[in-house]
Structure 1
Amino acid sequence: MDYLDLPKAVEDFVAATNAHDADALAAVFGDGAAVRDDGKTYTGEAEIREWTQGHLIDPKIVITPTSFAGDRLVASANGEFPGGPLSFAFVFGIKDDRVTDLAIDPV
């Protein structure tokens, strides 16, 4: 894979996800952040921690970025879930090197 030049917040999100590090993932998100995934919205630290645990940490997700343009990361995700690997688009809102908004959709 070619090197992708990712914003720090996106790079931190991928690294923390791939390390299965809940505290590092929590640190990626800014105050008042929101995540939209699976038709639901998770807001605030407690809900985002619950989402990261259930959707990224427990299934041991590993994200392999394939492209990045504007605010949209396309990546393959694999882990302990049926049907993987799957491709997803991660659309990031970023402020001060922290994720303020994240929307995830299958590609």
Structure 2
Amino acid sequence: MTNTTEWDALPTTVRTFMTALDAREVDHALATLTTNAVVTDEGHDYTGHGEIGAWVAKAAADFTYTTAFTGATTTEAGVDVGQHLEGDFPGGVADLHYRFTIDGALISRVVIEP
């Protein structure tokens, strides 16, 4: 396990996914995923490009918030990215972990949890 504090040291697919998710850029996010990828957010699984695309388009769309990269840990299976959010959502502040499983050059699984 390696701690990576530099955003630029993360795999390109992970950086692209995180940036696309924040901007709700569905096509850019989907381009980083395998066709049968699974994203788990708030305990719900979104499977495949159709469900994940709809999730990206609506994820936190009701709220205004800022994000800050707080660090990452890399493993043989993938990457765990920390992100700090502040905004007008319930609670106003959240620290989330995005756990990525990498399959070749693409992401096959993302689990988002506190």
TM-score category, normalised to shorter length: 0.7 to 0.9
Alignment partners' CA distance in 1, 2:33 and 2:99 = 14
User: Structure 1 residues 56 and 94, CA, compared in 2 at 3 Å: closer, same or farther?
Assistant: farther
Structure 1 segments of 4 or more deviating over 4 A?
none
Which one of 26, 42, 45 corresponds to residue 41 of structure 1? Answer: 45
Higher strand share: 2
The alignment covers a number of residue pairs equal to 105
Give the corresponding residue for 2:112.
104
What does the per-residue CA deviation read over 1:38-77, in whole Å, with 9 as the maximum and x for residues that have no partner? 1111101111112112215554554321010122111113
Give the corresponding residue for 2:81.
73
Taking structure 2 as the reference length, the TM-score comes to: 0.77
User: Structure 1 residues 51 and 33, CA, compared in 2 at 3 Å: closer, same or farther?
Assistant: same
Give the corresponding residue for 2:22.
18
Q: For the Cα contact (< 8 Å) 1:18–1:61, is it kept in 2?
A: no
RMSD: 2.1
Gaps of 5+ in 2: none
Gaps of 5+ in 1: none
Alignment partners' CA distance in 2, 1:20 and 1:79 = 16
Alignment partners' CA distance in 2, 1:49 and 1:80 = 24
Larger Rg: 2
Taking structure 1 as the reference length, the TM-score comes to: 0.81
